[in-house]
Amino acid sequence: MPDLAPGQRVSIDKPRLELMLEGPRLASLQSEIGSMLVGLDSARRSAASFAALELGARELRPGVTFGDSGELRLDLDALPPDVDRLLLILFLQRGPGQGLSFRDFESLTATFGDWRLNLDLTNRGEAALIVAEIYRRDSGWRLAGNGQGFVGGLAALKSALSLDIPVPAPPDRRHGPYGDRGPDRHPPGSSFSGSGFAVDPHHILTNAHVVDGACKIDAASDRFTAPAEVVLSDPRNDIALLRIERDLPASARFRSAIDIHLGEDVIVLGFPLQGLLGSGPQATGGNVSALCGIGNDTSVMQFSAPIASGNSGGPILDQSGLVVGQVHSSLNIDRLREGGSNAENINFGVKGAVVRSFLATMGIEPQLDPGGPSRTRADIVREARAFIYRIQCQA
């Protein structure tokens, strides 16, 4: 069987072919991987006559059947005429940032009829891959090895290619030492809120748990309210990126140095306890009290500035008004008390370096600033009001 290299294009002589997937660790990790066949039209948009097919569901599409052993069988001549291209996509069921990436599979081999594509995954940290493409050329079909990966998983692939494909819900992370979070907190029709801040003219950062379970999301400022949609969510680091169609007036600036100093003063902004403390933003001050979280989690820092429900997703600013982190959560005090311990005002934030790595996944480069002399808290808050938002959600 001839090998197909990533980037290589070959003619398909037979219109009927079988697609199979093999790998040394595929059997043990089979439940972790999903596969999808996506049909595109000549404009590289999702074909109207060919809804994206999750292969594990073994649904039928024109020109698509399954063999007794689960192999996918394609009859290219039977595809609808608006299907100009097929993409074979692999993705991790957990989504990105859940302790598993394609490197854990070591290698995968995909066979397309008479052709075999070998993918070395030993250095691949992505959560979604375009394995190959089958596309029309003149009066026939061609096969191209691809191998393009997306660290941000299926949601990042969907956004980058502007595809209409389903994205599985993130895994259940409702219970943990940082508090109980998740969709089961919000019965259908209920409203809930958090905080966020603009990172460029069309994107706002918030926490993943803020928008979990939301059917409708709005971003509200002192001047306007606009609908928002989730373009990428990282449940592991609890970060979500929202897109706004209208132009946003200002963006937060990040401190260019990634170091965070134990004991340095910080300011936290957000919209806690909406309906009780009023609808405007609240500002509190404190300091960085630890450089890691529970279990020596180095992706987060601990700070002492008081926060409450609704602060989640807001910025943590240094004394120059630059972002050094994002509010994440508070310690689960109730569970500590159940165990006979007590603690107050132990709060956690995602470090700015982790947030910047998340943004880089989407090709977003936030404004960086080396910082300067310390400013008054009033001046910093006055400036920050232009880029912070209340994230309003409805289940």
The CATH 2.40.10.120 portion of the chain extends over: 186-395
Cβ-count burial of 96 within 10 angstroms (0-12 exposed, 13-18 middle, 19+ buried)?
A: buried
Q: Which two tokens stand for residue 277?
A: 């403390």
Residue-wise pLDDT for 326-369, tens only, equals 998 876 554 444 444 445 568 899 999 999 989 988 889 999 99
Cβ-count burial of 188 within 10 angstroms (0-12 exposed, 13-18 middle, 19+ buried)?
A: exposed
Q: Which two tokens stand for residue 157?
A: 């692939």
SS3 state at 174: coil
226: pLDDT strictly greater than 80: yes
pLDDT of residue 170: 53
Report CA dihedral (57, 41, 166, 35) to the nearest 10 degrees: 40
Q: Which two tokens stand for residue 104?
A: 């854990």
234 vs 39, residue with greater confidence: 39
Question: If pLDDT is split at 50, 70 and 90, which confidence band does 59 have?
Answer: confident
Residue-wise pLDDT for 360-387, tens only, equals 888 899 999 998 899 999 999 999 999 9
How far is 132 from 12, CA to CA, in rounded Å? 13
178 vs 209, residue with greater confidence: 209
Matching CATH number, 186-395, of 2.60.120.380, 3.40.190.10, 3.40.50.2300, 2.40.10.120? 2.40.10.120
SS3 state at 70: coil
Residue 359 pairs in a beta bridge with: none
- Concatenating the DSSP letter of every residue in 91-121 gives EETT-TTSS--GGGG-EEEEEETTEEEEEE-
93 vs 225, residue with greater confidence: 225
Q: Write the CATH number of the domain with boundaries 3-161.
A: 2.60.60.30
Whose CA is closest to 233, among 199, 207, 195?
A: 207
Cβ-count burial of 51 within 10 angstroms (0-12 exposed, 13-18 middle, 19+ buried)?
A: middle
Question: If pLDDT is split at 50, 70 and 90, which confidence band does 235 have?
Answer: confident
Q: Which two tokens stand for residue 289?
A: 């009290």
Q: Which two tokens stand for residue 115?
A: 């052709």
Quickly tell me which residue has 């450089």 as its tokens: 291
The CATH 2.60.60.30 portion of the chain extends over: 3-161
pLDDT of residue 344: 59
Q: List the single range of 146-160, 165-179, 306-320, 353-367 with lowest mean pLDDT.
A: 165-179
Q: Which two tokens stand for residue 105?
A: 């599979």
Cα dist from 328 to 25, 204, 283, whole Å:
35, 15, 16
93: pLDDT strictly greater than 50: yes
pTM of the model: 0.56
Beta carbons within 8 Å of 110's beta carbon, 6+ residues apart: 19, 20, 21, 88, 116, 117, 119, 131, 132
Please report the sign of the dihedral spanned by the C-alpha atoms of residue 111, residue 115, residue 116, residue 119.
negative
How far is 15 from 369, CA to CA, in rounded Å? 57
- Arithmetic mean of pLDDT, 172-194: 58
